[in-house]
Amino acid sequence: MGKGLFITGTGTDVGKTFVTGLIVKKLHESGRKSAYFKAAVSGNERGVDGKLIPGDPLHVKSVSGIPQPLSEMCPYIYERAVSPHLAARLEGNPVNMERVVAEYHSLLDKYDSVTMEGSGGILCPIRRDEQFVLLEDVILALHLPCLIVADAGLGTINSVVLTCEYMKARKIPVKGILFNRFHAGDLMEEDNREMCELMAGVPVLACIAENDRNLMFDADALAALYE
C-alpha cells in the first residue's frame, strides 16, 4: 500500500504544478514507484482530436519522467480557465467525491507514493450545486498531510500565515512550506523565509529558483513526509 501527500498553494499561479513536478521527479529518480493525481483541472486546451488535454498532469509527467498513464492522473478536466465549481456549471460533469476517493485509493494499490495537487489555493471550491465541496473536503476525506507552495516575493508573509492558520483550524496537517521563485541572497526573500517560519510555526523545507530542474531536498526525507 502506497502513501500520499497533498500539495496546495497560497493562491493561483504560485507554481504548484512546477514544484509538484520536481517533487515527483525526485521520488521517481530515487527509485520509488511514484504517481501523480489531481481531482480537477481547469483551463485546458483541446488536441487535434477535439479532446481536452489535462495540462497540469501532462507537465508533471513530462518533467518527472514517470511512466504512469495520463488517463490515471485526473478524472475531471475542464476547458474554461475558472474554478472547477464554475467550470462544471458551464460545461457539466461536476466532481463526484466518491469517484475521486476511489481513483486515489486505486493508485495507492499500485504505487509507492501518490502526490496529489490541489486546484488554486486551499479555499478553492470544487463543486457547488446540490452539493458544496471545497478543496479541504478532499484533503480530509483522503486523510492527507500537506505541503504549501508559496511565491518567495513580496506579500508572501501574509498569504503563508493566513493559509497555515486556516489549515490548522480545519485540522489539516501542514508538513512544511516550499518557497518558489526564490533568489538566494535577496534580503527581502531571505527575511520572508525567516518570518514565515516564525509566524506560521511551519518550516520552509526547500527554496526553488525559477529555472531549477531539481528539488534540493533529500529524497528519503521527502518520502518520509508521505502518509
Q: Which of 122, 120, 112, 119 is nearest to 226 (CA)?
A: 112
Residue type, 107: L
- pLDDT of 204: 98
Over residues 85-124, the pLDDT tens digits come to 999 999 999 999 999 999 999 999 999 999 999 999 999 9
Q: What integer pLDDT is reported at residue 47 of this predicted model? A: 93
pLDDT band for position 217 (50/70/90)? very high
Going from the N-terminus, what domains does the chain have, and what CATH number goes with each? 3-223 (3.40.50.300)
Q: Residue 38 catalytic?
A: yes
What's 121's DSSP letter? E
Residue 104: its pLDDT value, please?
98
- The string of pLDDT tens digits covering residues 64-86 is 999 999 999 999 999 999 999 99
- Give the pLDDT score at 156: 98
At residue 3, the pLDDT reads: 98
147 pLDDT band, cuts 50/70/90, is very high
At 207, the amino acid letter reads C
DSSP string, 46-95: E-TTSPEE-HHHHHHHHHH-----GGGT-SEE-SSSS-HHHHHHHH----
User: What is the distance between the alpha carbons of residues 196 and 124, in angstroms, rounded to a whole number?
Assistant: 22
Looking at the DSSP assignment, which residues form a beta bridge with residue 227?
A: none
Percent of the chain with pLDDT over 90: 98
Q: DSSP letter at 102?
A: H
pLDDT of residue 116: 98
Strand ranges across the sheet with 34-37: 34-37, 113-121, 3-9, 146-151, 174-180, 204-208
Of 16, 26, 38, 61, the catalytic one is 38
